[in-house]
Amino acid sequence: MSDNNSQSYDVIVIGAGPVGENVADRTAAAGLSTVIIESELVGGECSYWACEPSKALLRPALLYAEAARFPGVANVVTGPLDAAAVLKHRDRMVADWNDRDQVEWLASAGISLIRGHGSLDGVQQVTVRTPDGGTVRLRARHGVVVCTGTRAALPPIPGLDTVRPWTSREATSAREVPRRLAILGAGVVAVEMATAWRALGSEVTLIARESRLLGRVEPFAADLVSDRLRAAGVDLRFESGIATVERSGGPDDSIHLTLVDGTRIVADELLLATGRAPRTDDIGLETVGLVPGEWLATDDSFAVTAVDGDWLYAVGDVNHRALLTHQGKYQARIAGTVIADRAAGRPLDTTAWGKHTGTADLAAVPQVVFADPEIAAVGLTTEDAARAGRAVDIVDYDIGRVAGALQHDPDYRGRARILIDPERQVIVGATFAGPGVAELLHSATLAITGEIPLARLWHAVPAFPTISEVWLRLLETYRDRSAPHTSFTPPLKAA
C-alpha cells in the first residue's frame, strides 16, 4: 500500500486478539463497517503464546501426574513423558503459528483486516504502518477500540540484556526442553511453567521474591501447589531474588545467576515471570492527550474516561480491570453492543449490562490455575475481605471427604472454601483446590454473579457421586453453625 492511502470505517479496532475479534464481530454484525489492525498473528497472544500453548503443555503433565497416582494405572505409567510428542501436540494446538483460519473467519464475518502497526493520530484518526513500508490513514465515524493487550514486564537486573531471557512467549513456544530452567516469579505463569517444564524433564529452580506462591489466591491453595511442586523435584527459593545474571560464553552457553543472598545458580534458560505492562507505549496516545505506556481507564461502557466524546474505547487487558482472556471477551461483547447502540442513536440499555459489568469485572472474576493440583477461584478471598474491612463468614470443607473426589483420586488432597455475606446470605467468594476442580468454577461464578440466596442454593441438588457434592457439604457445614442467622432457614438435614 502506498503513502497517503486514506480510508473511512464506522469502527476501527487496533489489535486482533480474542478481544479485538469479539468487538469487531459485534459491530460488524450490527451492520457497521469494521476494520481490524494486527501487527503480528490474527488470534493474538492467547492463541499463540499464552492460553492455548500453555494448556497444551500442561494437560499431558497433569494427566501423567494423576495417572501415576491411581491404582491399576500407576503400574503401567512407566518412563518419562514423551517430550517430543507433547511439543508436537502444542504446535498443533497453535496451528504451527499460522493464522490462516483466523483470517478466513474475519472475512466470513465481514471484517476487514489491515496488517501493520496501528497508532492513534488525533481524534478518530488512526495511522497504520504496513509491513511493506507504506502508510494507511484511517478515520473512524463512530469508534476506535484499543485492544492491544499487555507485554511482559522485565525487572531491572544487571546483565539481563546480555542473556536473552525467556518471557512467557519463549516459555510456551520453545522447541526443546532445557536441561536446567530457572524461573523468577511467584504468579500463575511461574507456577504453570514450572509444572509443565519439570514434567517434560527440566531441572527447575523457582525463585520468588515473595514468601509464598500465588499471592492472590487463598494460602491453603498455594500451599497445596507448593507441596506438589517440591514432590515433583522443583527447587523453591522463597524471599529471594536475582542480584546479577550473565552468560558464561562457554561451550554450553549457560546462564549464571547470583541470588540476593549470594547463592549462585547455573541454568540453561531463565524465565522472567514478573508481571505484565500495557502495550500502549507506541500507539499514539500522546496525540489525544494521554500518556504513552500507561493503562487506559474506562467507564462501564469501556469508553476511555480521559477522552471526551465517547469515541475511544479500551477493551481487555489494556484497561487493567481483569487480565484474563475470558474477561476481555466479556468486555468486548459489551463494548461492541455499546458502539452499535450509540451509532444508531439508541439509548444504552444499562439495565441489561450496567450493574453487572462492575460485578463481573471486579467482584466475580473467575480464574483457574492449571497447576497440580488445580486452583479455581472467583470473587473475594479471605485476604481481600480483610483488606476491605468486609465481614464474611468463612466455610471450609475437605474435598477428599466427598465420594466423587475419591472416585477421582483415592488419595485425594483438596479443599474448598466459600465466603458468605452474613447479612445478605449470599456467597461473595469461592476457592477450590484439588484435582478436577476447574469444573466447579462456573457454578460458583453463577452463585456470586446472580447473588443467589443460600436458601435457594439448597435446592440446587448436586449429582452423586461427583466432586460437585462439595456444594452440599459446604452448605451443611454453614447451617450447622448458623443459628444466629435467623434469616437463613435451610431445610433440615435428612436422617
At residue 129, the pLDDT reads 97
Residue ranges of alpha helices (H) inside 289-440 are: 325-343, 350-358, 382-388, 403-408
Judged against a pLDDT cut of 50, whether residue 16 lies above it is answered with: yes
Tell me what the mean pLDDT of segment 258-266 comes to: 96
Q: Is the pTM of this model over 0.95?
A: no
At residue 252, the pLDDT reads 79
Q: Which stretches does DSSP call E strand in 253-352? A: 255-259, 264-267, 269-272, 276-278, 312-314
Give 72's contacts (C-beta < 8 A, 6+ positions apart).
none
d(CA 392, CA 381): 10
Return the sign of the alpha-carbon dihedral for residues 471, 474, 479, 482: negative
pLDDT 10s digits, 114-157: 999 999 999 999 999 999 999 999 999 999 999 999 999 999 99
Label residue 121 exposed, middle or buried (CB < 10 Å: 0-12, 13-18, 19+): middle
d(CA 415, CA 401): 10
Cell numbers 454473579 correspond to what residue?
A: 449
At residue 362, the pLDDT reads 80
- Which residue did the predictor score with more confidence, 23 or 77? 23
The domains found in the chain, sorted by start residue, are 5-43+99-151+277-362 (3.50.50.60), 160-274 (3.50.50.60), 373-479 (3.30.390.30)
Q: Which stretches does DSSP call E strand in 62-213? A: 112-115, 117-120, 125-129, 135-146, 150-152, 180-184, 203-207
Judged against a pLDDT cut of 50, whether residue 453 lies above it is answered with: yes
One-letter identity of residue 59: R
At residue 79, the pLDDT reads 85
pLDDT 10s digits, 235-254: 999 999 999 999 887 777 89
pLDDT 10s digits, 402-421: 999 998 888 999 999 999 99
Of the chain, the percentage scoring pLDDT greater than 90 comes to: 86
pLDDT 10s digits, 357-406: 666 778 899 999 999 999 999 999 999 999 999 999 999 999 999 999 99
Q: CA distances (Å), 139 to each of 35, 120, 136, in order? A: 11, 10, 10
Label residue 30 exposed, middle or buried (CB < 10 Å: 0-12, 13-18, 19+): middle
At residue 24, the pLDDT reads 98
> Cβ atoms within 10 A of the Cβ of 190, count?
23
d(CA 399, CA 137): 58
Tell me what the mean pLDDT of segment 428-452 comes to: 96
pLDDT bucket at 2, cuts 50 / 70 / 90? very low
One-letter identity of residue 244: T
